[in-house]
């Protein structure tokens, strides 16, 4: 970012519907696998949407997620899953970065900024039922701290001894992107040398499904074919498929990363934020908020729109949003639309709400590392004609020096991040 | 060990995640078994649930070791 020190990403961690770590999630994403299944963990018989993208739980082998590897069972009982996912993703990212601050000086220079869109809704539901059925004396002393959104940052800080800025973001589906962008600014501004940043969500539960169904936001036409349900830009799309998980990155100043010889995945060069000022759930029809957001991020990056090689779209597979975002991107890049690739990885992992922006930022960074763009699954019949390559069905090799990731949230809150290959500066 | 002691021990092991052989009569929940103030509140709630008894706050404050819990519950348990 040109208003401060240069900021780079040196560690990645992820828990996604495709796997319990970055390697499994990314390889399955590139292979065109989908994480969507029929929900079997709670009663969906009376819900219009019966499918979701849930984290594959197991013994930790073959890319499965084993919570016991990341948090003691007695601690797991106290918190909602979003905190466990966050702890896992953050611990993975720190290990990946090779950063384990032990001295007081290193600890106070390392902060945490992990958000969640909804937080512990599952636990709030259970607590409410318990309160009604059995009265206040049965409510656990861990009810409040185990549900609070900023306790993801709190747990990560406590477990790893990170004593720098401790912060959290709550901006619905833009949370993960805002968390990474804000954390990058904290490092650029000198409030910390290193930040662990990202988003986590565990809202695949009955209360949340009922609520999103009431908003008419979830896909309902593909209950018999879960893996075909998330289909961004396709004419038959009818809503998003909810996912869960967490993504965390280790962000640090370029000089700090260089001084300790850290591997650098990419540089964070742009971050834009805007508000639609339009509607609580619908994006503004003219796409102005999204357009200005990407433009702001590019201005910060000091780049022309034509410099973008890959856009990881917000692309939720809702009837309204996808075309509005595509329109905004086309308006932004103009004639350069011809050479642009843009895909929605939500087609494979669903919509991770507050974790989406973080997980998708990681996919964008990996596209830069591996020079390959992940596919948009189920894009059989695009609903509009576009010169932009939406990467239907299959991943493809492409030179990716600059990637932009979009996230847009309820309330009309938008975030765009721009990443660049460290050698492309 | 009495039936009450066995049940108390099981609850302590489960809630505090400690090795069973550490849960001895004079083990202090906070000093010896790593509990914090919130853990002790939850432990007391678990005892109430298991033994069908209500433990008022002033009584709960006197239960600081495994033995304290066993003796209190042997005297006051309903189930």
Gap between the Cα atoms of A356 and A360, Å rounded: 6
Contact A67, A91 (CB under 8 A): no
Residue A17, pLDDT above cutoff 50: yes
Query: Which chain A residue has the Cα nearest residue B57?
Result: A137
Contact B17 A145 (CB under 8 A): no
Which of A419, A85, A2 is closest to A251 using CA atoms? A419
Give the model's pLDDT for residue A353.
Answer: 98
**pLDDT (tens digit, 9 = 90+) per residue, A210-234?**
999 999 999 999 999 999 999 999 9
Give the residue from A77, A47, A58, A219 showing the smallest Cα distance to A146.
Answer: A77
> What is the pLDDT at residue B61?
94
Provide, rounded to the nearest whole percent, the portion of chain A with pLDDT above 70: 99
Phi, psi of A30 (to 5 degrees): -70, -30
Active site residue A167: no
Does the CB of B34 have a partner CB in chain A at under 8 Å?
Answer: no
The low-confidence residues of chain B, meaning pLDDT below 50, are none
CA B61 to chain A, closest CA, distance in angstroms equals 16
The CB density around residue A25, as the number of other CB atoms within 10 Å, is: 30
What's residue A4's pLDDT? 84
Query: A206 falls in which pLDDT band (50, 70, 90)?
Result: very high
Look at B17 and A138 and tell me if their CB atoms are within 8 Å.
Answer: no
Q: Is A73 on the interface with B (CB under 8 A)?
A: yes
Residue of B nearest to A136 (CA): B45
Q: B42 and A138 in contact by Cβ < 8 A?
A: no
Q: Binning pLDDT at 50, 70 and 90, where does residue A209 land?
A: very high
pLDDT tens digit string along A334-392? Answer: 999 999 999 999 999 999 999 999 999 999 999 999 999 999 999 999 999 999 999 99
Instruction: Return the pLDDT at A1.
Output: 44
pLDDT digits (tens, 9 = 90+) for A126-147: 999 999 999 999 999 999 999 9
Question: Are A145 and B49 in contact (CB < 8 Å)?
Answer: no
Q: Is B52 on the interface with A (CB under 8 A)?
A: no
Q: Is the pLDDT of residue A68 over 50?
A: yes
**Please, where are the H alpha helices in A119-174?**
121-134, 151-160
Q: Is A145 on the interface with B (CB under 8 A)?
A: yes
């Amino acid at each position: 970012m040109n208003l401060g020190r240069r900021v780079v990403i040196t560690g990645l961690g992820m828990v996604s519907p495709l796997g319990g770590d970055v390697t499994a999630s990314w390889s399955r994403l590139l292979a065109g696998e989908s994480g969507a299944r029929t929900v079997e963990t709670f009663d969906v018989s009376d819900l219009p949407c019966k499918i979701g993208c849930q984290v594959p739980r197991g013994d930790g082998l073959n890319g499965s997620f084993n919570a016991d590897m990341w948090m003691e069972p007695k601690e797991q009982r106290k918190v909602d899953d979003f905190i466990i996912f966050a702890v896992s993703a953050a611990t993975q990212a720190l290990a990946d970065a090779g950063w384990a601050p032990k001295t007081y000086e290193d600890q106070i220079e390392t902060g945490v900024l992990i958000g969640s869109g909804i937080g512990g809704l599952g636990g709030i539901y259970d607590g409410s039922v318990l309160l009604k059925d059995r009265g206040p004396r049965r409510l656990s002393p861990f009810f409040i701290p185990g549900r609070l959104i900023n306790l993801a940052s709190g747990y990560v800080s406590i477990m790893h001894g990170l004593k720098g800025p401790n912060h959290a973001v709550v901006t619905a589906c833009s949370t993960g992107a805002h968390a990474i962008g804000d954390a990058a600014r904290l490092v650029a501004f000198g409030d910390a040398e290193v930040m662990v940043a990202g988003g986590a969500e565990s809202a695949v539960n009955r209360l949340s499904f009922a609520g999103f169904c009431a908003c008419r936001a979830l896909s309902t036409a593909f209950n018999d074919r879960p893996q075909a349900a998330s289909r961004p830009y396709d004419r038959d799309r009818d809503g998003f498929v909810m996912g869960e998980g967490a993504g965390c990155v280790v962000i640090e100043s370029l000089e700090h990363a260089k001084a300790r010889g850290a591997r650098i995945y990419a540089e964070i060069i742009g971050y834009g934020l805007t508000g639609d000022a339009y509607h609580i759930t619908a994006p503004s029809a003219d796409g102005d908020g999204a357009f200005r957001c990407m433009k702001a991020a590019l201005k910060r990056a000091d780049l022309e729109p034509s410099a973008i090689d890959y856009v990881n779209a917000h692309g939720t597979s809702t009837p309204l949003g996808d075309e509005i975002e595509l329109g905004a991107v086309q308006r932004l890049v103009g004639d350069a639309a011809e050479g642009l690739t843009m895909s929605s990885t939500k087609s494979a992992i669903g919509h991770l709400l507050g974790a989406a922006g973080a997980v998708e930022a990681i996919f964008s960074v990996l596209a830069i590392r591996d020079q390959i763009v992940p596919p948009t699954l189920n894009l059989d019949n695009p609903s509009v004609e576009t010169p932009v390559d939406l990467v239907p069905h299959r991943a493809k090799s492409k030179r990716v020096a600059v990637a932009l990731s979009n996230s847009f949230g309820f309330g009309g809150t938008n975030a765009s991040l721009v990443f660049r290959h460290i050698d492309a500066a | 060990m009495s039936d009450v002691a066995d049940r108390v021990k099981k609850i302590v092991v489960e809630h505090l995640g400690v090795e069973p052989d550490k849960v001895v009569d004079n083990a202090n929940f906070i000093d010896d078994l790593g509990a914090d103030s919130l853990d002790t509140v939850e432990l007391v709630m678990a005892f109430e649930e298991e033994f069908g008894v209500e433990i008022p706050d002033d009584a709960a404050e006197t239960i600081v070791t495994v033995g304290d819990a066993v003796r209190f519950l042997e005297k006051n348990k309903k189930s």
